[in-house]
Structure 1
């Protein structure tokens, strides 16, 4: 199934997106610091039965760098703008990490536009942890004169990526973020996700990578037990653990993720 690429013009710059297939729409929202590349293996599978769209969040991937730091609500609005451009009235949404919070905000702010919601690897953070996340991204994406920042990131990610080719793909996306503010983490810091998640009424599936949370705990950026918060704020949510799922599980466990997502989407 052929996946095409296109751009949407906005007052803050162009948004890059990928689109393919026919049928009920499914909008994919990527993690940070990544792009719609995160779904390059999943899109052809979804496109067999769905009209699948994956956008690069502003400031990431091949979308333009916005003239200001976006809020999560701003990112949600750009998703609605893309749906409007494509003539899509309602869609299902799959979001991973940062993309999950954006997808949740679309469902909370525009409930009539979302049929079903899939949230992948969402956590509850303390204020200190949120500040640490933003600070970490400020440090990581500093350009060093000797280029050692690239080697450091390659070596760090190799711990969980497990593939030279995948590490290279991730490095290409990350390289586009160097020298710029950490747009997505800064948007997340002031986002009242507990309050907003409680507004979600649509059927919701939550996917949790068992190795993903371990990595965040190791970095001191999250606590494993806090991942259980989702059942309190979205009581109707169905939670499925993806055994061995890492930060890169959209690439690494394509078959399992596509299976559980399609089963969820195709239930009437």
Structure 2
């Protein structure tokens, strides 16, 4: 029987943070990509909650969390993770982050190593100068509301190649719409952080699992954001990390193949088939 997943809010000086929580035992925190929300883990959470206390938070500026009063850095987002830990009385937890969530998870492991047990970094792309410039361009442009409503169809079609179902696309578009009219906060944060990412990640001491969806990385290359091969900066920065690749892993892999991901994640957390 699936463990119930409940919702709650954390009050901070910069506004409220929405999070989902379910299960019992050792804590596993899930951090989402941009411009998604904790909904990215809606399929994965019930599986993981069979063995762990699982929490997924919406970053400030995304989902049902408040918009921050200023541009947040990756370090700022890491502080909100610690604020949530403190609120819930969590001394130490496992972290899983995807895309933007992986950058934040890595920073938490570096800045607050005493609060992190095991670390799972998913789909970290290697952004070069060109990729960083394009990221910042997208930040400056953001999502713009158009008078004729064409922005709605634009977002619907944005992931047509790999989304897989109308229901899932609807959920992604809902997250998109919550970001309209505001800066894409996390794009600015990651765009600046990627300059120092390799140096910061090299300081990670936690047992680390690195997951890549191959189609996801190739999509970044198709978009001109990052070369697929440049992702290996991460495994070079964390040589003790265990790498697992999903050949069928798209940008939507957390929603599309949750059973496959959960199997690898649980084996890593339980110490099965992993010697790290």
Please give the range of the TM-score, normalised by the shorter of the 2 chains. Answer: over 0.9
Q: Name the residue aligned to 1:235.
A: 239
Match among 167, 182, 185 for residue 183 of structure 1? 185
1:72 corresponds to: 74
1:139 shift after superposition: 3.4
**Which of 137, 148, 166 is equivalent to 1:146?**
148
SS of equivalent to 1:225: helix
> What CA deviation, in whole Å up to 9, does each residue of 1:184-212 have, x standing for no partner?
00011221211110110011001100100
2:171 is matched with which residue?
169
Query: Separation in 1 of the partners of 2:191 and 2:217?
Result: 19
Cα offset, 1:86, TM superposition: 0.5
Give 1:225 deviation, angstroms: 1.1
Q: Is the 8 A contact 1:134 1:182 kept in 2?
A: no
Q: What's the counterpart of residue 81 of structure 1?
A: 83
- CA distance in 2 between counterparts of 1:100 and 1:31 reads 8
Name the CA distance, whole Å, in 1 between partners of 2:126 and 2:230.
5
Partner of 2:111: 109
TM-score norm. by structure 2 comes to: 0.95
Equivalent residue runs for 1:1-268 within 5 Å? 1-139=3-141, 141-191=143-193, 192-267=196-271
Q: CA offsets per residue over residues 213-258 of structure 1, 9 Å max, x none?
A: 1111111001011011112100101111011101110000100000
Could you list the runs of 5+ residues in structure 1 that have no partner in the other structure?
Answer: none
Q: Which runs of structure 1 show a deviation greater than 3 angstroms over 4 or more consecutive aligned residues?
A: 137-140
Q: Secondary structure at the match of 1:70?
A: coil
Gapped regions of structure 2 (runs ≥ 5): none
Structure 1 residues 88-140: Cα deviation after superposition (integer angstroms, max 9, x where no partner): 00000000000000000000000111000000000111122112023124435
Contact conserved, 2:142 with 2:183, CA < 8 A, in 1? no
**2-structure distance, mates of 1:85, 1:127:** 38
Partners of 1:159 and 1:220 in 2: CA distance:
16
RMSD: 1.0
* 1:206 match: secondary structure: strand
Q: For 1:223 and 1:243, how far apart are their aligned partners in 2?
A: 16
What SS does the aligned partner of 2:183 have? coil
On the 8 A contact 2:210/2:235 being kept in 1, the answer is no
Per-residue deviation, 1:75: 0.1
Distance in 2 (CA, whole Å) between partners of 1:254 and 1:140 is 30
- After superposition, what is the alpha-carbon deviation per residue over 1:16-50, rounded to whole angstroms, capped at 9, x for unaligned? 00001101100000000000000011111111110
SS in structure 2 opposite 1:232? helix
User: Which TM-score applies when normalising by structure 1?
Assistant: 0.98
